[in-house]
Amino acid sequence: MLLPVVDQGGLAVVADLAGRGLVAGAVVVGSPNEGFPAAVAAVQEASTTGPVVIAVDEEGGTVQRFGVLLGALPSAAEMGSWSADEVRNLARERAAALAALGVTVNLAPVVDVGSGPGIGTRSFSDDPVVVTTHGVAFAEGVLEGGLVPVAKHFPGHGRANADSHTELATTPDLEELRMVDLLPFGLVPEGSAVMVGHLAVPGLTDGVPASLSATAVTGILRDEMGFDGVVVTDDLSMGAVAQLVDVPSAARLALIAGADLLMVGPHENVVPVAWSLVGALEDGSLDQRWLDEAVERVLAMRGVDPCALVAQEG
């Protein structure tokens, strides 16, 4: 369930962690080079729990990892003026190229409405209709290209007042989000995941990030909106969370809130986070049933049969 954030060189550490069954995979940042497929293959070979997630942020524009290997990808703001079919086709082609390199998950599209701090040209538009049609088209293309798309950043970062990379950002209140920012998340295609951002929502999260809030993740995304796919946290080592709690504590709170995949920042956080989750099970703050449901969703995303794992252990 844990996703450390590493560059290509850090995949060697991820291979060791995967060999001990401690991670669900990794988020790869930086600019991978020609050695990337071999590094990914080593991780997959080492894993004792079946195929793992290899996720990247390949949004386009200012956030893309494979420009050197695959060529530049236009920003969402530029694609906002295209037809939905053009967006879908480009996303499909890019996803297929990424899959050939060993990537399994694209942490895109951004379906935030608006270009507030931390978003800018990463958003398709200030119009929720354009964001929805183009975000859905991008996600469909990613699925058709063989990857899992991740719509982000729930419940909507585009009109927040700050960049959550550095500080806790506050969105408009819940009722306004329902009329604008939540709309794209309600239409993500089946097979997509959703990333929850570090966003405080007046009237919903009581001043804590949505990523750590059960009222946001379980109450709104799962119960009210009916989303039953994988929920991924944004990086729990980001400034918005770091000013409140340490990463192990944040991971515990995120899992209790209803997240499935926990992005835990540098790989050094993996073991402390794992012990924190064990502690949460032992003290009863984390229900074993919740954990089992989260693991089941993550294994399904990875294409792993849990029965096969049990048989292997036996």
Q: Supply the residues annotated as catalytic.
A: 165, 234
Helix, strand, or coil here: 39?
helix
| Burial zone of 262 (CB within 10 Å; 0-12 exposed, 13-18 middle, 19+ buried) | buried
Separation between Cα atoms, residue 136 and residue 242, nearest integer Å:
32
Instruction: Report the alpha-carbon angle 91-97-102, nearest 5.
Output: 120
Q: Taking the CA of residue 80 as centre, how many other CA atoms within 13 Å lie in the half-sphere pointing to its CB?
A: 24
Q: Please state, in angstroms and as integers, the Cα–Cα distance from residue 70 to each residue in 7, 91, 175, following that order.
A: 17, 13, 42
Contact 202, 174 (CB under 8 A): yes
Separation between Cα atoms, residue 94 and residue 38, nearest integer Å:
20
Helix, strand, or coil here: 222?
helix
Residue recorded with tokens 């550490």: 13
| Burial zone of 4 (CB within 10 Å; 0-12 exposed, 13-18 middle, 19+ buried) | buried
For the beta carbon of residue 254, count every other beta carbon within 10 angstroms.
28
Residue 154's DSSP bridge partners are 196
The token pair at 86 is 């053009």
